[in-house]
Chain A
Amino acid sequence: MEDLAATLPMLLMGAWLLPLVSFALIVFLGPSMGKAGIKAGYLATAAIGTSFLLSMAALVLWLNGHGSELGTSHHGQTTYYTGQWYSLMEIGNLKLTIGYYIDSLTIGMFCMVTLIATCIHFYAQGYMHDELHEFTDPEITTSDGGKFTRPGRYHRFFQYMSLFCFSMLGVVISGNLAMTFVFWELVGICSYFLIGFYIERKSACNAANKAFIVNRIGDFGMLIGMMAIWASLGTFNFGDEQDATGQVLRNEQGDVANPGIFSHVRSEKNHYALKVPAGMAMLAGGDGDHDGDHDGHHEDEEGAQQAEHHDHDTASSGGSAPAGYYLLIVAGLGIFCGCVGKSAQFPLHTWLPDAMEGPTPVSALVHSATMVAAGVFLVGRFYPVFAPEVLLVIASVGCVTLFMAATIAITATDIKRVLAYSTVSQLGYMMLALGVGGWMAGMFHLLTHAFFKSLLFMCSGSVIHAVHTNDMTEMGGLRKKMPYTAITMLIGCLAISGAGIPFLIGFSGFHSKDAIIAQALNFAQANDNPLFSIFYYVAAIGAAITAFYMFRLWYMTFAGKPRNQERYDHAHESPKVMYVPLIVLAVFAVGVGWPIPGPSVTNLLEQARPAGTVATETGAVLTGLTYPNEHHAHPIPAGDTHATDAERKRADAIHTEANLVAFSTALAGFLLATMFYGLRKIDPTDVRQQFARTYRFLINKWWFDELYDAIFVRPVLVLAKMISWNDRTVLDGIVDGSVRTVKLVSRIDNLIDRLLVDGLVNLIARWTYDIGASLRSVQSGKLSWYVMAIVVGTVTLFVMASFVLRI
């Protein structure tokens, strides 16, 4: 235990910082790394590969230290290590630190992210080989109609990939909210760089901007959440402060000395049940005195009043929310807002499909293990703070997203767009799962989805690499040409559809989707309100649609006859460096979810479950809202003594129903797709004509882009035009007018200066000169003349004095 507290942070720090080192090296030395920077690819791959090995070492150490706890359901504090590496600054109470929070979720995420990123790095070395030499962009024609050619940017691609991995690992390991936010933004900027990798394409530029700007909207909400938390709790740390051996620091009374956010909301004393922290209650204007002990002390003096307060404390059944409860909701919604942006949830989902403009390895990374996963991960990490009302919002958003994106994916013909909408839909699944109380189900699906979605994206990249188009209507029959890709993609499709043998075993998606549907059903049963059953139905229908569009994709790409013979003839299997990662990922897509006893993914995740989140909870504002125990959605192990027989029976029933529903819906979707595209019993064009209106609605992506265009973009443009007009005519007019006036005045001034002032000076000068010139003849230098002049002058004066003036 003591060793782990020191070694785990070291190992994970190494795994976290290696991509940064690779990034820094490539930034400074990239262009000189071999021919066209080819060694940059090796360096980045080596860095992330080593990160993976370090993460695996951390996992092994963890299993060694805590493996015995696996499989036993705990109801107490989660095992975690937290601490700080570096303090950025301290202003008053505000401490900004680079710290870590390591539990089994952190380690699991580290292994998943680094493994997938390693595969993608290998794959990208093959995929990006075009960038090794002069690159002629096929999608750009220059203004004179020629081809656009630029130097390759191979090293820059890997530079950003390294930074991306570093940022994502930073989000995962982050020990406090401020640090999370920093790396959150770093992930955002990396996605901006990579989506806009083909910067010369206008569509890529727009997509990068869109991703960045839409994410800012979410981050604004996140900032509000952070402010609410900071202002009320005065800390950003997730976990309680620990000593060097990983033990929580306690004061003399045995209380936690420096509690983190989680302990504030779900304190040990309160048996980890959600309670409004004193700070929030104080900030909201109530008295902060919500501690059970204090209530006892004051009871004599103000018995009645205190009793009322006590009611507020345990307001779960009371009906009116305790003071500060709304602040807790605001904090939760704010943080969730950031996750909505990052994880492309409705209504901020529009950036994700456009992000397909990036190179396919980027899509694979962004849409599986990193960017979008960050949002779901943060919801999972922050789960203890979410009040039941917030969870309901999360579930609703996830539900809408799941259904909407799934329907759009049915009609898309761009292979990457189908996958993009599938990603949005699966993220909706995760949010839905988290929102209905299925913490484990959501996190589980996050991990399994990362594997099969990166696999699917890389397969699609392999196909695009072979046929040089994204359009599925130009593909077909490719399975003969690309056997590896076809088989691995089929595995990916089966995994995402949740194929498996009910009650026994299946692809990874089978287990995670099953867990989600089970918890949705559990939630629907726990609440009388029939509205809450929608989550369950949508999850079930979504499973069918998922299977449908995934097999539609597979059939259109790999089965049947080639639709474009020329492209078909040109197609070839990708090089080894590309399909070997596919096989690796396919193996994980199959097996990562298997419920093996001991160190299975579910058991590992269960160990990181935030304390107190399995207990049944009810809302304080929406009193009809009940969150059931997630463990009661699956067969309860015999060793669990807490469960009653009734609960056992109900859990078994839920498990059976969910299993059958998940299986049958997926099968239905699969069969439908086979009818349409595999066996061609039904012609899709007929259906399209039959439901022309629906088809138009779906092919235009529910008109979301147009809607946002009309609601936000156009008004802004109109406003901008008005301001521009104002600038041009009014402001510029004033400026221009004053300029013109000044010019006129100065011209007049110039005239006065030149004519009047200069003229006067010149005139005097000329006079002086003329007089001088005329007088020079007098100075003849002849003495005799001078004497004559004196005499004549004297005589003249004399004569004048005598005769004229008569003096």
Chain B
Amino acid sequence: MTNLLTQPVGVSHYMAVGAVMFVCGIVCMATKRNALGVLMGIELVLNGANINFIAFGSAYLQKDSAMSLGLDGQLIALFVIVLAAAEAAVALAIALNFYNNHHSIDVDRADELKG
């Protein structure tokens, strides 16, 4: 097992950063009661995943560049960013409406539809 800290920066390091960001995002989502906090957690999760895509799309891993542009990972990351933006817009709209109705954005109080 190689020590990552002694290695030059490679794919593994990106992946480690992505994993940390992902876990931070999950924890943020699970613990925050503020809807905006939860949204922030979501952003973290998405961007953690993005880092992974970019890492796997780096030139280090491209053995046969003649077959592709080598931009697969980056392209998907772009899609994810767009998606995240759209999602954030919708989520903020929901949050605003929720606030209008409940004078709060505590997600734990949004339980009218529970089973």
Residues in B31-47 with C-beta less than 8 Å from chain A: 31, 33, 38
Q: Name the A residues within 8 Å of B107 (CB-CB).
A: 782-784
Output the least CB separation between B25 and chain A (Å).
10
Q: Is B108 an interface residue (CB 8 A)?
A: yes
Indicate with 1 or 0, residue by residue over B83-115, a CB within 8 angstroms of chain A CB atoms. Answer: 000000000000000000000000110111111
Output the least CB separation between B22 and chain A (Å).
10
Instruction: Give complex CA distance A779, B113 in Å.
Output: 8
Asked if B29 and A777 make an inter-chain contact with CB atoms under 8 angstroms apart, the answer reads no
Instruction: Give complex CA distance A787, B108 in Å.
Output: 13
Q: Which residue of A lies closest to B115 (CB)?
A: A776
Instruction: Give complex CA distance A500, B93 in Å.
Output: 138
Q: Which of B31, B33, B38, B114 contacts A781 (CB 8 A)?
A: B114
Asked if B114 and A780 make an inter-chain contact with CB atoms under 8 angstroms apart, the answer reads yes
Indicate with 1 or 0, residue by residue over A432-464, a CB within 8 angstroms of chain B CB atoms. Answer: 000000000000000000000000000000000
Output the least CB separation between A792 and chain B (Å).
10
Asked if B30 and A779 make an inter-chain contact with CB atoms under 8 angstroms apart, the answer reads no
Asked if A779 and B29 make an inter-chain contact with CB atoms under 8 angstroms apart, the answer reads no
Asked if B108 and A779 make an inter-chain contact with CB atoms under 8 angstroms apart, the answer reads no
Asked if B112 and A781 make an inter-chain contact with CB atoms under 8 angstroms apart, the answer reads yes
Asked if B108 and A791 make an inter-chain contact with CB atoms under 8 angstroms apart, the answer reads no
Asked if A787 and B112 make an inter-chain contact with CB atoms under 8 angstroms apart, the answer reads no
Output the least CB separation between A295 and chain B (Å).
119
Asked if B29 and A781 make an inter-chain contact with CB atoms under 8 angstroms apart, the answer reads no
Output the least CB separation between A182 and chain B (Å).
90
Residues in A209-226 with C-beta less than 8 Å from chain B: none
Output the least CB separation between B100 and chain A (Å).
19
Q: Which residue of B lies closest to A781 (CB)?
A: B111
On chain B, the number of residues with a Cβ less than 8 Å from chain A's Cβ atoms is: 14
Q: Is B11 an interface residue (CB 8 A)?
A: no
Q: Name the A residues within 8 Å of B113 (CB-CB).
A: 779, 781
On chain A, the number of residues with a Cβ less than 8 Å from chain B's Cβ atoms is: 13
Q: Which residue of A lies closest to B28 (CB)?
A: A787
Q: Which residue of B lies closest to A794 (CB)?
A: B26
Instruction: Give complex CA distance A355, B112 in Å.
Output: 97
Q: By CB atoms of chain A within 10 A, which of B33, B110, B111, B115 has the most?
A: B115
Asked if A787 and B115 make an inter-chain contact with CB atoms under 8 angstroms apart, the answer reads no
Contact A784-B26, Cβ < 8 Å, known A775-B115, A778-B115, A779-B115: no
Indicate with 1 or 0, residue by residue over A752-783, a CB within 8 angstroms of chain B CB atoms. Answer: 00000000000000000000000111111111
Q: How many A-B residue pairs have CB under 8 A?
A: 37
Instruction: Give complex CA distance A781, B111 in Å.
Output: 4
Asked if B30 and A784 make an inter-chain contact with CB atoms under 8 angstroms apart, the answer reads yes
Instruction: Give complex CA distance A788, B108 in Å.
Output: 14
Q: Which of B26, B33, B110, B114 contacts A779 (CB 8 A)?
A: B114
Q: Name the A residues within 8 Å of B115 (CB-CB).
A: 775-780
Q: Name the B residues within 8 Å of A787 (CB-CB).
A: 26, 29-30
Q: Name the B residues within 8 Å of A783 (CB-CB).
A: 29, 38, 107-108, 110
Instruction: Give complex CA distance A783, B110 in Å.
Output: 9
Q: By CB atoms of chain B within 10 A, which of A776, A781, A787 has the most?
A: A787
Q: Name the B residues within 8 Å of A791 (CB-CB).
A: 26, 30
Contact A782-B30, Cβ < 8 Å, known A775-B115, A776-B115, A777-B115: no
Instruction: Give complex CA distance A777, B114 in Å.
Output: 8
Q: Name the B residues within 8 Å of A782 (CB-CB).
A: 107-108, 111
Instruction: Give complex CA distance A781, B102 in Å.
Output: 15
Output the least CB separation between B66 and chain A (Å).
32
Asked if A780 and B111 make an inter-chain contact with CB atoms under 8 angstroms apart, the answer reads yes
Q: Name the A residues within 8 Å of B110 (CB-CB).
A: 781, 783
Output the least CB separation between B113 and chain A (Å).
6
Indicate with 1 or 0, residue by residue over A507-532, a CB within 8 angstroms of chain B CB atoms. Answer: 00000000000000000000000000
Q: Which residue of A lies closest to B26 (CB)?
A: A791
Q: Name the B residues within 8 Å of A779 (CB-CB).
A: 113-115
Instruction: Give complex CA distance A775, B108 in Å.
Output: 19
Instruction: Give complex CA distance A784, B35 in Å.
Output: 11
Binding site for A on B (CB under 8 A): 26, 29-31, 33, 38, 107-108, 110-115
17 contacting pairs across A/B (C-beta < 8 A): A776-B114, A777-B115, A778-B115, A779-B113, A779-B114, A781-B108, A781-B111, A781-B112, A781-B113, A782-B108, A782-B111, A783-B108, A783-B110, A787-B26, A787-B29, A787-B30, A788-B30
Please name the 7 residue pairs, one residue from A and one from B, whose CB atoms are nearest each other, closest first: A781-B111, A776-B115, A779-B115, A781-B114, A787-B30, A783-B107, A787-B29
Knowing that A776-B114, A778-B115 are A-B contacts, what are 16 other residue pairs whose CB atoms are under 8 Å apart, sorted by A's residue number?
A776-B115, A777-B115, A779-B115, A780-B111, A781-B111, A781-B112, A781-B114, A782-B107, A782-B108, A783-B110, A784-B30, A784-B31, A787-B26, A787-B29, A787-B30, A788-B30
